[in-house]
Amino acid sequence: MPGSAITRDEKASEVSTTVVAVPQLAYINAVPTLPYVGEAHPDSTTATLSDDKSESSSVEEKGGPIWEGYQEDEIPEKTQGHFVRNVRFQIFSLYRRLFGIVFITNMAIFIAAAVRGGTNTDANHLGLITIANLFVAILMRQAYVINAFFTVAMWTPRSWPLWARRIIGRVYSIGGIHSGAAVSGTIWLVLFAAKATQQFIHKDKITVPTITFTYIILVLLLSMIIFAYPRTRQRHHDTFEMVHRFSGWTAVALVWCLIFFLIKDYKPSGQSLGQAVVRAPPFWLVLIITCSIILPWLRLRKVPVESIVLSEHCVRFNFDYVNTQPGHFTRMSHSPLFEWHSFATISVPGQKGHSVIVSRAGDWTSEQIAEPPKKIWIRDVPTFGVVAVTPLFRRVVLVATGSGIAPIAPVVYAKKVPLQLLWVAPNVRKTFGDPLVDSLIEANPNAAIYDTRVHGKPDMVKLTYRLVKEFDAEAVVIISNEPLTRKVVYGMMSRGIPAFGAIWDS
C-alpha cells in the first residue's frame, strides 16, 4: 500500500540518550519533553512529564521502560497447524482471495463460452466481456472509488463483532479485484483475438482494422501484466511505472479505435454508425474508463512547499493547498509524465494543510533532502491507505519503524480511539526533530519510543505482543518495511490478534 519512504540506518555518529520514565511508561530520547496538557484519551494511561528531570534519572528508580525484560516473555503458540495458518494468512490473503473470486468466476464463464459455441460467443459478445473486465480493473485504481470503499468501511460501528470488523478492516485489499479483472480481461482478449481471427478468415464481418488493433492491444496488455508481476515490479519499479502508464494510455486509445471498427463490423444494415455507437455498451464503458484516467490529470498542479530539513536523513514538506484526513496519502513529482512518489500525509486537528516526511531511501528522496524544493507537482486527490482502518477497533496498538511514523502520526493526533504507540527507530530526535517527537508524546503520553542505537534491534513480534496484552488492544496496525510488516502481521494473526499492514500491491 503506498506511504512514506522506509527508514535506513544512517552513518551518523552516536548521540547521548536519556530515559525519562514513570511506572509502566518510558520515553527514550525524550528530553526535553513537553508536559502533557491535552485532554486524556478515554481508557488511556496519562502522566505529566516534568521538564526538570535531570539527564541522570534512573530507570530502575522509576520502574523501568515498558519493554524491559520483554525478551523473556513467553508468547503463546500459533493457533492452528503450520499448513493451515500458512494457507490462511500467507498464501490465501484477502487480496489473493479477491483475485481468485474474480479470476475463477471469469474462467468459468470463459470455459463455458469456449466450448458452447453458437451466436452468443461471436467476437462482438467476447469484446463486451473483455471491456467489462478492463472497466472494473481501471476503476478499482481510481482515487474516488478507493476513497468510497474506505468511507463505507469506516461507517462500520465498533459494536459489531470483532470478526466482522477484522474482515472489513482489510478494505485496502481491494487491489485484488483490480488484478483479477485485469488478468481476466487480458485472457478474454486472447479468446476475442482467436474468435475474431477465425471470423476474419471465414470473411464473417470482422475486418482488417479490427484484427490489427486487437493484436496490438494484446501485446500492450501482456507487457503490462509481465512488468506488474510482484518480483519484476520490485526489481524494476521505474520500468513498471513507465510501462503501466504509457502502455495503458496507448491501449485505451487503441481500444477506442477497436470498438468503433467492431461496432461498424456488426452494425445492422439501415442503422447509422452514430446510432450503433450510442447503443453499444462497450462505447459507454470505454468512455467512463477514459474519464477515470483523465480525471487525476485534470487535478495536476504545481504547489508551493515549505521545506524543513530535519536531518541528513529526512526533510519535512509543509503544504497548505488542501486539508487531509488520517490515513491519507498523496502523490508528488518533479517530472509528472515519468515518475510519481506516494507519501503519507500528516494532518493535525484544527490546523490548515498537511505535511509530508521524506526519508532517504533512494536517489529521488536523497535529492529532496540535499536540495529541498520550493514547488512540487501534485496529482489527484488525497487517497486513503491502510492506517485509515484504525477507528474500526476499540483499542489499537500502532507500530511504526523509522519514517513509518508519518502515516501513524495523524492517527495519534486525531485521538478517535484509545491508542498505544510503539515507534522503533535510530536516533529519533536527531533524525526527526524535537517538534515531531514532542507532539506525539503530548498526544499519546503512554507512547513507547524505542531507540535502536541504544537498545539494539528488538524482537518486534514479542515486543508488539507485550504491548497488545498490556494495553488490552483489539488490533495492531503497523507501518514498516515489507519483510518486517509481513513478519509482525503474521505473528499477530497466527495468534488470533487482528493485524493490518501495507501489502505493496501498487
Tell me: do 289 and 182 sit in the same domain: yes
**pLDDT score, position 352:** 93
Tell me: do 494 and 459 sit in the same domain: yes
Tell me: do 254 and 309 sit in the same domain: no
Question: Half-sphere exposure (CA, 13 Å, Cβ side) for 434?
Answer: 5
**pLDDT score, position 24:** 29
Is it the case that residue 118 has pLDDT exceeding 70? Answer: no
pLDDT level of residue 83 (50, 70, 90 thresholds): confident
**At 376, which CATH number?**
2.40.30.10
CA–CA gap between residue 160 and residue 114 (Å, rounded): 44
Strand 396-401 versus strand 475-479 pairing type = parallel
Q: Which of 361, 352, 367, 356 is nearest to 332 (CA)?
A: 356
**pLDDT score, position 39:** 29
pLDDT level of residue 88 (50, 70, 90 thresholds): confident
Last residue of a domain, one of 360, 384, 408: 384
3-state secondary structure 339-365: CCEEEECECCCCCCCEEEEEECCCHHH
Which residues have a Cβ under 8 Å from the Cβ of 165 and sit 6 or more positions away?
156, 158, 392, 393, 498
Tell me: do 413 and 466 sit in the same domain: yes
List C-alpha distances in Å: 203 to 109, 122, 200, 271: 27, 13, 5, 21
Tell me: do 293 and 401 sit in the same domain: no
The CA R_g of the chain, rounded to the nearest whole Å, is 26
Tell me: do 231 and 153 sit in the same domain: yes
Does 6 map to a domain? no
Q: Which of 384, 425, 181, 389 is nearest to 289 (CA)?
A: 181
Tell me the DSSP string of 26-75: EEET--S-PPP-SPPPTT-------TT--TT--HHHHT--TTTTGGG--P
Is it the case that residue 223 has pLDDT exceeding 70? Answer: yes
Does 150 map to a domain? yes
Mean pLDDT of 60-89: 73
Tell me: do 363 and 402 sit in the same domain: no
**pLDDT score, position 75:** 85
pLDDT level of residue 120 (50, 70, 90 thresholds): low
CA–CA gap between residue 331 and residue 342 (Å, rounded): 4
| More reliable by pLDDT, 70 or 163 | 163
CA–CA gap between residue 358 and residue 132 (Å, rounded): 39
pLDDT digits (tens, 9 = 90+) for 292-328: 999 999 999 999 999 999 999 999 999 999 999 999 9
Q: By residue range, what is the domain housing residue 397?
A: 19-65+387-501
Which residues have a Cβ under 8 Å from the Cβ of 245 and sit 6 or more positions away?
337
Tell me: do 176 and 114 sit in the same domain: yes
CA–CA gap between residue 58 and residue 51 (Å, rounded): 15
Q: What percent of the chain has pLDDT over 70?
A: 86
CA–CA gap between residue 495 and residue 502 (Å, rounded): 19
Scan for cell 499519546, then name that residue. Answer: 444
Scan for cell 490529470, then name that residue. Answer: 297
pLDDT digits (tens, 9 = 90+) for 231-268: 888 888 888 889 999 999 999 999 999 999 999 999 88
Tell me: do 247 and 320 sit in the same domain: no
**pLDDT score, position 81:** 74
**pLDDT score, position 33:** 28
**At 488, which CATH number?**
3.40.50.80
Does 24 map to a domain? yes
**pLDDT score, position 32:** 29
Furthest C-alpha separation in the chain: 94
* Average pLDDT taken over every residue of the chain: 84
Does 84 map to a domain? no
Is it the case that residue 171 has pLDDT exceeding 50? Answer: yes
**Which range is least confidently modeled, 116-120, 197-201, 211-215?**
116-120
Last residue of a domain, one of 258, 278, 298: 298
pLDDT level of residue 385 (50, 70, 90 thresholds): very high
pLDDT digits (tens, 9 = 90+) for 326-377: 999 999 999 999 889 999 999 999 999 999 999 988 889 999 999 999 999 9
pLDDT level of residue 122 (50, 70, 90 thresholds): confident
Tell me: do 288 and 342 sit in the same domain: no
CA–CA gap between residue 38 and residue 42 (Å, rounded): 12
Does 270 map to a domain? yes
Tell me: do 196 and 256 sit in the same domain: yes
**pLDDT score, position 103:** 95
Does 407 map to a domain? yes
Q: Which of 384, 393, 380, 404 is nearest to 324 (CA)?
A: 384
- Residues β-bridged to residue 500: 477
Cβ atoms of 355 and 436 closer than 8 Å: no
Is it the case that residue 4 has pLDDT exceeding 80? Answer: no
Domain count, the chain: 3
| More reliable by pLDDT, 177 or 32 | 177
- At residue 101, the 3 state secondary structure works out as helix
Amino acid 65 reads P
Q: In what helix (H) or strand (E) does residue 231 lie, and over which residues does it extend? A: helix 230-235
Last residue of a domain, one of 251, 275, 298: 298
In degrees, to the nearest 5, what angle opens at C-alpha 52 toward C-alphas 47 and 53? 75
Tell me: do 170 and 274 sit in the same domain: yes
Instruction: Kindly compute the dihedral angle of the four CA atoms of residues 341, 409, 95, 152, in this order, to the nearest 10 degrees.
Output: -110
Does 4 map to a domain? no
Does 11 map to a domain? no
Cell of 168: 472489513
pLDDT digits (tens, 9 = 90+) for 449-487: 999 988 889 999 999 999 999 999 999 999 999 999 999
**pLDDT score, position 64:** 62
Global pTM reads 0.82
CA–CA gap between residue 490 and residue 460 (Å, rounded): 12
Is it the case that residue 224 has pLDDT exceeding 70? Answer: yes
**pLDDT score, position 49:** 30
Scan for cell 512529564, then name that residue. Answer: 49
